[in-house]
Amino acid sequence: MQPSLSSVSPLEKSKYLVGIDQHDESKVALRLACMKANARGSQVIMVHVITPADFQTLGAIADRMREERKREGQQLLSELAEEAYSTYGIRPQTVLREGPTGDEILEAALVDADVSMIVIGIAEHGTGRGKLASWLATQLGNKLLIPLLMVPGNLTDQQLHSLI
């Protein structure tokens, strides 16, 4: 028998939404989110955003490119979800979206009322990722009142454990 909604603690309903891409720092962010979720009985949502092509091309070619990016994104999410389950015992929800990265991460958080924090990885050295973090922080303050956790991509597992 499932507990009634009123008997589920807010922590059990809360979710960490993690922005995922092919960079190592997003994998570090996912590890921290999984550790936090384990410690708090929470859930994890992994969001991968496919950015639209910024050039005009023939319809059939553009469609093929889009489908290839979707397949790659689904493969990435699947691999990381399996890793999260085998390492932390957590089965993250996976979400694949298409559009501008910041907008889509924000929209994924807006559509799920149980998202209590957005977690993103930050590159060790400036590679333009600070722009996304800055933009998200501004938008979260304006549109959604939840924290943004920026995880440095060079943290070790021992350092991540100390943050729990």
| pLDDT at residue 4 in the model | 39
pTM of structure: 0.84
User: Going residue by residue through the chain (164 aa), what tens digit of pLDDT does each one get?
Assistant: 344 344 444 555 799 999 999 999 999 999 999 999 999 999 999 999 998 765 666 677 778 888 999 999 999 999 999 999 999 999 999 999 999 888 899 999 999 999 999 999 988 766 555 677 777 777 767 777 788 899 999 999 899 989 88
Q: How far apart are CA 92 and CA 99, in angstroms?
A: 22
Give the CATH class of 5-162: alpha beta
Domain layout of the chain by residue ranges: 5-162
Q: Helices 24-40 & 59-88, crossing angle to 10 degrees?
A: 40
